[in-house]
Amino acid sequence: MAELPPLKKKPRAKKAATKPAAKRNLPVKHAVDPALCFVKRLPAEILLEIFTYCKYFDTDASRTPWWVRSYVRDIDRPWPTMLCLSHVCQAWRHFTHTHGYLWTEILVDNLKWTQLYIKYSSRSPLHLSFDPFAQRCPIDDGAKSAPHFRAATRAIKALDRVRELDICGPVNADALSILFTAGEKCATTMFRQGFATFNPDNPGAFIPAPKALRILSLQNFETNRHMRLFHSPLTSLTLTKAFVGSPDDSERLVSPLVEIIRQMPTLEHLDVTSPIYEPEDLDALDNPRGPHTTRAFLPNLKSLYLHDELPQALSFIESLELPPNVKFTLVSEPWGEYDDEEMMHESAREVPSHDPRLRAFFDAQYGEASKAGSRFTRLNIMDSQEPENSALAIAVELADPSTPPLPESVLLTLDCEMYVGGAGGSKAVLRHLPLLPPLDGVRNLELYIRLDEAGWRELCRSLTAITRLTVHTAQAAQSFLRVDKASERPLFPHLECVTLDGCIFFEEWDELLAFLRRRSSDAGRTIQWQSTSADFKHTREEEKELLDKMERGGFAPLKWCRPEFFNYETVSAKDKNAARFGALPIRTGIALGR
Omega prior to 324 cis, within 30 of 0: no
> For residue 585, is pLDDT > 70?
no
pLDDT of residue 435: 57
Cβ 502 vs Cβ 478: under 8 Å: no
Q: Cis peptide before 170, with omega less than 30 degrees from 0?
A: yes
Q: Give the pLDDT of residue 175.
A: 67
pLDDT reading at 384 higher than 60? no
Q: Choose between 545 and 454: higher pLDDT.
A: 545
Predicted pLDDT at 267: 92
Residue pair 201/149 in contact (Cβ under 8 Å)? The answer is no
Q: Which stretches of 372-467 are DSSP H helices?
A: 423-432, 453-462
Q: Over 60: is that where the pLDDT of 573 sits?
A: no
Dihedral angle sign, alpha carbons of residues 489, 495, 496, 501: negative
Amino acid residing at 135:
Q
Range with top average pLDDT, 54-63, 229-238, 365-374, 427-436: 229-238
Give the residue with greater pLDDT, 590 vs 232: 232
pLDDT (0 to 100) of residue 536: 84
**Are the C-beta atoms of 118 and 154 separated by less than 8 Å?**
yes
pLDDT score of 515: 92
- Mean pLDDT over 274-292 rounds to 61
Evaluate if residue 56 carries a pLDDT over 60. yes
Mean pLDDT of the region 509-517: 91
What confidence category does residue 40 fall into, taking pLDDT thresholds of 50, 70 and 90?
low
The 8-class DSSP code of residue 344 comes to E
Decide if pLDDT at 31 tops 90: no
Residue 270 in this model has a pLDDT that exceeds 90? yes
The region of weakest confidence among 199-208, 318-327, 447-456 is 199-208
Sign of dihedral through CA atoms 435, 441, 447, 450? positive
Question: What is the C-alpha to C-alpha distance for residues 314 and 306, in angstroms, rounded to an integer?
Answer: 10
Residue spans per domain, the chain: 467-575
Q: Which residue has the higher pLDDT, 388 or 540?
A: 540
Query: If we measure between CA atoms, which residue out of 431, 495, 504 comes closest to residue 474?
Result: 504
Average pLDDT over residues 177-189: 64
Digit-coded pLDDT (tens) for 130-146:
765 544 444 444 444 55
Closest CA to 212 of 301, 269, 127: 127
**pLDDT for res 273:** 86
Distance separating alpha carbons of residues 511 and 515, to the nearest angstrom: 6
Is pLDDT of 230 > 90? no
How many other β-carbons are positioned within 10 Å of the β-carbon of residue 287? 10
Which string of b and e fits 472-507 if b means at least 16 CB within 10 Å? bbbbbbbbbbebbeeeeebbbeebbebbbbbbebbb
Q: Report the residue count for the chain.
A: 594
Which amino acid belongs to residue 314? L
Q: What is the mean pLDDT of the chain?
A: 68
**What is the C-alpha separation between 412 and 449, in angstroms, rounded?**
11
Q: Which residues are CB-neighbours of 425 under 8 A, at least 6 positions away? A: 414, 416, 419, 449, 450, 588
The answer on pLDDT for 496 being more than 80 is yes
Query: Using CA atoms, how far apart are residues 334 and 350, in angstroms rounded to an integer?
Result: 10
- Give yes or no for residue 169 having a pLDDT over 70: no
Task: Report the Cα–Cα distance between both ends of the chain, in Å, rounded.
Answer: 108
Q: What average pLDDT score do residues 346-370 get?
A: 57
CA distance 24 to 211: 68
Question: Considering only 95-109, 168-182, 298-312, 529-543, which range has the smallest mean pLDDT?
Answer: 168-182
Q: Are 539 and 574 in contact (CB under 8 A)?
A: no
Q: Does 456 or 441 have the greater pLDDT score? A: 456
